[in-house]
Each structure stands twice: as C-alpha cells, then as structure tokens.
Chains A and B, each alone.
Chain A
C-alpha cells in the first residue's frame, strides 16, 4: 500500500475503462505485464502506463512468483476505495462547514 491512500488518485485510476479491465483481470494475479498487454489493442508502453497509474493508486501490486513478476489486484485497496466514496462526502462536508464559518464571520457584508 502506498503511504498515502489518495481518494482523488483512486477515483481517477478507476475512471478509465482499460484500467478497470486490468483490475478485474489481475484479481487472480496470474499474468505479468506482457500477458496483460496482449488483451488490449494498444502499445505495450500504454499498458505499462495504465499499470503504473493503478500501482500509484494502490489498486494493484507487482509481485514476484518464482521467476516471474505478476500484476495482482490489491483487494484491500479496492475495499478502501469503497470507503473513499464516504470520505469524499466528508471532504465536502468540511468545505460546507468552512463556507458557513466564512458567512457567519462576515455577517453584514452582504454584497
């Protein structure tokens, strides 16, 4: 898991259809990047980039099994991502509180 599990990066990572597909394929962690790339009509570099975005967001990890490196979905990451939707709401609640303070502290300044 990355040190900061960042809601915006997780949502942004999951906003792309190819990346969502990678997350599903990588659930059983049997394929390395080369095999994964074979499923998509795009360059290998493009797939690598998608995997990097998912890794940065804490949604997949690259692990060594024997002599191979495979891409595996981080279930914990997905579960945390679910909780993030709630956190996103909390973010906006914080903003609304600050907006309320601003309004209250400038009563009488109505433009």
Chain B
C-alpha cells in the first residue's frame, strides 16, 4: 500500500515531524490512542520504542527497527509489536515502511509511504478466497437443508 501526501513545507521540516519524538507523538497515534515514544533513534540499526494509551488505560507497545535513514530524504523501518515488558512479540510479524521525502517546489514537499506487509499478495489471495468460499458455503448449507427436507418428507 502506497500513500502519497504533499505539504507546504520544506523536506527538512517534514523530516522533523519524524525525527523529533515530541512532534512524532502528536501525529503517530489517533486521538483516542495517543503515542508516547520512550526511545527514538533514526539511524540505520537504530530503534524506536513507543506505547499507545487507550481510553481504558490499555497500553499496546510497538517498536521500529530502523533499516535506512538518510535525512531528510529517506527513512525505512520495520514496525513490530512488543509484549508488555518490551520484548518483541515474534508471533506477530509487523510490516515494513519505506518513506521518501522529496522537494517538488519551493517550500513544497511530497512524502510517500510504502507499507509492505509480509506476503501482501498471499494475504489478498486468502481474503479473496474467503469471500468466494463464504458464498460457496452459503449455497452448500442451503443445499444441505433442502436435501434433509426432501429426505424427511420422503
């Protein structure tokens, strides 16, 4: 999934939104789940850690492993989930994001974010199959009920 956005600002200003944890906290989480970044290091091999605070006090935790960082132009990170104690949760593989920030005009910047889930295509295949199967199952169930009805009335 690729998202493209344009801002009336310089690439450096847009990079700041990512690099300054206090600014990042103001947009990463939705209003109901604000994020708090407890660690933030945008260098290759670096790591960021955050938790989000939900309305009932739940605090899901996540982290970024920085794959590439070339301020203010490019950032790539692998996003993962963590247990409550901060250790990575291997049962839930995360996704990879590639961010590109480029100047398109004086004080106008384009930011692209390409999110890659492991095996997006395979996932979409499964989802499509579920839709088709749901239909087939419904038809199968109707057939079964009809068959049972005709046996009983025989």
Chain A positions within 8 Å of B, measured between CB atoms, are 8-9, 11-17, 20, 23-24, 27-28, 49, 53, 73, 75, 78-79, 81-82, 85, 88-89, 91-96, 98-104, 110-111
Number of A-B residue pairs with CB-CB distance less than 8 Å in the complex they form? 108
Q: A20 contacts which chain B residues (CB < 8 A)?
A: 119, 122-123, 126
In contact, A78 and B130 (Cβ under 8 angstroms): yes
In contact, B27 and A95 (Cβ under 8 angstroms): yes
B139 interface residue, CB < 8 Å from A?
A: no
Known contacts A8-B94, A85-B124, A104-B8; can you find 15 more A-B pairs with CB under 8 A? A12-B94, A13-B92, A15-B123, A17-B122, A24-B126, A27-B129, A78-B131, A79-B134, A88-B115, A94-B30, A96-B111, A98-B26, A99-B7, A99-B17, A110-B12
B95 interface residue, CB < 8 Å from A?
A: yes
Task: Name which residue of chain A comes closest to B126, CB basis.
Answer: A20
Name B3's contact: one of A49, A53, A89 (CB within 8 Å). A89
Cross-chain pairs A/B with CB under 8 angstroms, 19 sampled: A12-B93, A14-B126, A15-B93, A15-B123, A17-B122, A20-B122, A24-B126, A27-B130, A27-B137, A28-B137, A75-B133, A78-B130, A79-B127, A82-B127, A92-B3, A99-B14, A100-B7, A103-B9, A111-B16
